[in-house]
A = this chain, B = another copy of it.
Amino acid sequence: MGSKYISTSVIRRLPRYFRFLNSLKQTGMIRISSSELAERMGISASQIRQDLNCFGGFGQQGYGYNIEKLQAEIGKILGVDRGLKTVLIGAGNLGQTLAQSIEFEKRGFNIIGIFDKKEALFGEVLRGLPIRSADDLEDFCKENHVDAAILCIPFKEAAANIDSYVKTCGIRGFWNFSHYNINEKYPEVAVENVHFNDSLMTLCYRVINLDKKD
């Protein structure tokens, strides 16, 4: 099942399925038809059947999907139980907020170290972990075989340190808030960029063009 090729657009929809199924599960629902799931998610039922067929037979004609089983299977495909060894780089406002508010361990990540270059932060505790000096990052990664990093640092800092992160630290996955384009230099690592400004500007465009639709 895991060995089958799955297209990027299907992969991108998997977390959405996971999220919707999760909220349905919490309402106590047991089964759902592809057409009802489609309506709630705002996509077509045939799209859903096609996507979920990639992973084999969860639906049964006329019975719909078992919500809990389907969610668990999608979670397995996404790797939510993998606990990838992860470091948080940058414990400023944003880094602290993410560390405090996101359930990383339920999404496949295990935060094992937090680093910053600001001396004033060293030793402060976040998520039960002490904030360490960025100078110790390389040694820490080598010792602990770190898989992934959450980059909450400015563009310039990311640009200056990316070689160390990829080559010396061996980090293979980045949740990237720095706006530095990691894949331009290292196309082989996995990067998810979060560009707040892109989504803000899209919103602005859509608000100022709302009236044109009426």
Residues of A within 8 A of B (CB): 3, 11-12, 14-16, 18-19, 40, 42, 77-80, 82, 84, 93-94, 96-98, 100-104, 107-109, 147-148, 172-175, 179, 183-184, 188-192, 194-208, 210, 212
Contact = CB atoms under 8 A, between A and B. Distances in A.
Given A197-B19, A200-B109, A205-B14, A184 B40 contact: yes
24 contacts: A12-B202, A15-B198, A15-B199, A16-B198, A19-B179, A19-B195, A42-B184, A78-B201, A79-B205, A80-B201, A93-B96, A93-B100, A102-B197, A108-B201, A108-B204, A147-B207, A172-B207, A190-B203, A190-B206, A190-B207, A191-B203, A192-B203, A192-B206, A194-B194
A113 to B, nearest CB: 17
Contacts of A172: 207, 210
A136 to B, nearest CB: 23
Contacts of A77: 205
Given A109-B200, A190-B203, A204-B109, A93 B97 contact: yes
A198 B206 CA distance: 22
A187 to B, nearest CB: 9
Q: Which A-B residue pairs are the 10 nearest by beta carbons?
A: A108-B204, A173-B207, A190-B206, A15-B198, A192-B203, A15-B201, A107-B200, A93-B97, A97-B97, A79-B208
Interface of A is mostly: helix
Given A94-B101, A147-B207, A184-B40, A202 B192 contact: yes
Nearest to A22: B197
